[in-house]
Amino acid sequence: MRGLLVLFVLVCAVGWAQVPLQAQDANAARSVRALPLAPDERIALDGRLDEAAWTRAAVAGGFLQQEPVEGQQPTERTEVRVAFDADNLYIGATLHDSDPDGILGHQRQRDHDLTSDDRFMLILDTFLDGRTAYFFETNPAGLMGDGLVRNTGYAGVNKAWDGVWEARAARGPFGWSAEIRIPFRTLNFDESADAWGINFQRTVRRKNEELVWSGYRRNQGLLRPIHAGRLTGLQDVTQGLGLEVVPYGAAVWRDVAGEPTETTPDAGIDVNYSVTPNLRAAVTVNTDFAEAEVDRRRVNLTRFPLFYPEQRDFFLESASIFEFAPLNAVNPYFSRRIGLDEGRVIPIEYGARLAGQAGAYDLGFLQVRTGPVDGRPAEQFTVGRVKRNFLAQSSIGFIYTRRSTAASGGVPAPVDRHTAGVDLDLFTSTFLGDKNLQMQAFYVVHTDPERGGIDGAADRSSRGFRINYPNDVWRAHLSYREFGEAWDPAVGFVQRRGFRRANPVVRYAPRPDWFDGVRNLEFGVYHEHLSDLHNRLLTRETGLELLGVVYDSGDRFDLRRNFRFELLEEPFHINPGVVLPVGRYRFDAWELNAESAAHRRLSARASVNFGEFWSGQRTAVELAFTARPLAGVTATTEWEHEDVDLFQGRFETNLIRLLGSWHASPWVAFDGNLQYDTVTAVSGLYLRLRWILRPGRDFYFVYTENWRSTDDRWETLSRGATTKLNYTHRF
């Protein structure tokens, strides 16, 4: 492992050394100057660029195709203009279209996925560091989507961040247009700087054409801020005091079988303050998570726990800063260990968070107290994260967590549990000239409250590295990690421990110009070799992607063949009444996946997995159908079926999920989720209404109910309703 790290650094040293200069040269190729509005000028936010100011603003044009033909001229013209006054930044986009009737704008829900629609996206790198940016997007229906971009070698958006801003869209014979108003108080930035990083991207969905203003190469793109252009001319703008107060009031009704019905009022407050232009503090008192969406139920046929993502806004905000060694499946900090116990809510009395940047450092600090409930003692949780950025896209970081449990019922308080780790992320976008190359490494260890001291640290630690080559046509990575026998961080997530795992993956995605209607083919090889810490083989899997096809229309399918070996060291209760004995198992299977393009009024997704499974056979089917009959109306039906026939017994499982949404406008959203599975025989209903009275002021109504099937009737297990109103005021 040590030799590989040294070799990687030597190979990439020249590329890293050249990154700052090359990045500057690339960014200098694109710039747009923001127009200062006169004191008496106003822009009426209606999606139509008919104010005189827009005619004076400089035009950011010259977009180039990223897809389907890299670097080609676009089939439709795009023009973007930028203006500002003392309080707001304005973006005006004119998106010409030769076929206005072909424009797609179905989705209206905030932050909804826009793979079905035409869209306009932009990023703002307000500190011009090439690492972080604010992300905004809209579509012809005026949807508002936003998030935070933190480029640590992979391109993605954390949509947990909800800024206070507005967007409007309008259609016409020219195509469609959008106006966006972003208050400067929504952003963190250096008030003395007159230039930011900025970039734009447009999607023409019926053609699946992606147009980018700066950094059009497939190895670059909108979500890599280092390839953004420049926004110049900003002056005399302010964030205000940087103080944000968000009080909320709520009423909660709960009816649980066997318990008295409860109706209680509730209230709390969140206070956010910008300590510096890019370092934000937050305090929450009596935190409420009533509007958080319920987890999607899944049938688990593995021996290990399933990972469920965080749903609660307080923990999602700034979550990317607390990420540790992303892509390496190590989770020394997992926020669902705070305030949740196997899905059950534990009250959070208060929490404090400090997150942001200070010079070359990314900083994150979290302190949360959960209250005592039903015999559970109160607990304190501490999380600290520091990351030092260096070169253009590399960093080294440290993480620390602490879990402290109070004494309860005469039982002395247990010893505090501590976890600490370090991670290294080296990234260059100039390897071999214009290729991306990344290396990550990590080491984490935690204390042993039962035995004390640091004896056996290897058993209580995890370590590993990953070399990643994320590029167009060829993608590859090699990862290696070890998890000790006693690995169990007190505020982390553990799926498996006591193993060594090597995992090479190679994918090839050529773009054949001789295959009409096909955007690219996909082939790949996946291999996993997992042994215990004494090198005894536990799991080996080889997966072959024999053929994947992605069509210009957005439709796709792929065919895979998997070969697997498993060593069971103890009996595996795979289903009630079905137990697999200790032994060695080899099983092979086929997998076929197909998906139609999301922009169709009726789209579908199907997956079939069949072949050998442990001591017998398995057929697994997943089907999903989505209908979009009207703008803002979506209905989805999902069915997951498992038919398992083993030597030890046969069983079937079914999971049915119905999803529906009606979004009358980007400001009013009604969503529902009804799900049932035959394993628990429980049905669950979740309904939510969100009404954005104005940006930053939201009303929620949430209703949940659970039933269990018993013999020939349904028994209500629990039901409840919550109304909540929050109000954001900024100073």
Q: Is 458 helix (H, G, I), strand (E, B) or coil?
A: helix
For 167-215, write each residue's pLDDT tens digit.
999 999 999 999 999 999 888 887 778 899 999 999 999 999 999 999 9
- With left for phi above 0 and alpha for psi between -120 and 50, is residue 321 left, alpha or beta? alpha
The confidence score (pLDDT) of residue 316 equals 78
Closest CA to 229 of 468, 378, 23: 23
With a CB cutoff of 8 Å and minimum separation 6, the contacts of 536 are 567
Q: Is 364 helix (H, G, I), strand (E, B) or coil?
A: strand
Closest CA to 440 of 467, 476, 471, 478: 467
Q: What is the pTM of this model?
A: 0.83
DSSP state of 433: T
The rounded distance, in Å, linking the Cα atoms of 320 and 335 is 12
For 605-614, write each residue's pLDDT tens digit.
999 999 999 9
The confidence score (pLDDT) of residue 15 equals 45
Neighbouring CB atoms inside 10 A of 499's CB total 17
In sign, the C-alpha dihedral spanning 220, 225, 227, 230 is positive
Burial 594-610 (b: 16+ CB within 10 A, else e): ebbbbbbeebebebebe
Tokens 């100057």 sit on residue = 33
CATH of the domain spanning 34-232: 2.60.40.1190
DSSP state of 73: P
The answer to whether the CB of 380 falls within 8 A of the CB of 367 is yes
The confidence score (pLDDT) of residue 10 equals 44
Closest CA to 691 of 701, 680, 683: 701
The rounded distance, in Å, linking the Cα atoms of 189 and 496 is 42
Neighbouring CB atoms inside 10 A of 535's CB total 7
Q: Is 26 helix (H, G, I), strand (E, B) or coil?
A: helix
The rounded distance, in Å, linking the Cα atoms of 699 and 668 is 10
- Residues of the chain whose pLDDT is less than 70? 1-29, 151-155, 288-301, 343, 450-455
CA dihedral 595, 597, 600, 602 (to 10 degrees): 10
The rounded distance, in Å, linking the Cα atoms of 181 and 241 is 20
E strand or H helix that includes residue 567: strand 556-568
Three-state secondary structure along 652-711? EEEEEEEEEEEEEECCEEEEEEEEEECCCCEEEEEEEEEEEEECCEEEEEEEEEEEEEEC
Rg value, the chain, Cα: 27
Domain boundaries, the chain: 34-232, 241-268+680-731
CA dihedral 100, 104, 105, 111 (to 10 degrees): -140
CA 267 to chain centroid: 29
E-strand ranges in 569-681 read 572-575, 578-580, 583-595, 602-613, 616-630, 633-646, 649-665, 668-677
β-bridge mates for residue 604, sequence order: 625
The pair of structure tokens assigned to 135 is 């992300």
The answer to whether the CB of 134 falls within 8 A of the CB of 187 is yes
Q: What share of the chain is helix, strand, coil (3-state, %, to 5)?
A: 10, 55, 35
The pair of structure tokens assigned to 38 is 């006169």
The pair of structure tokens assigned to 37 is 């509005």
CA distances for 516 relative to 315, 550, 591, angstroms: 47, 12, 26
CA dihedral 441, 529, 470, 430 (to 10 degrees): 50
The rounded distance, in Å, linking the Cα atoms of 281 and 317 is 11
The rounded distance, in Å, linking the Cα atoms of 510 and 126 is 36
The confidence score (pLDDT) of residue 270 equals 87
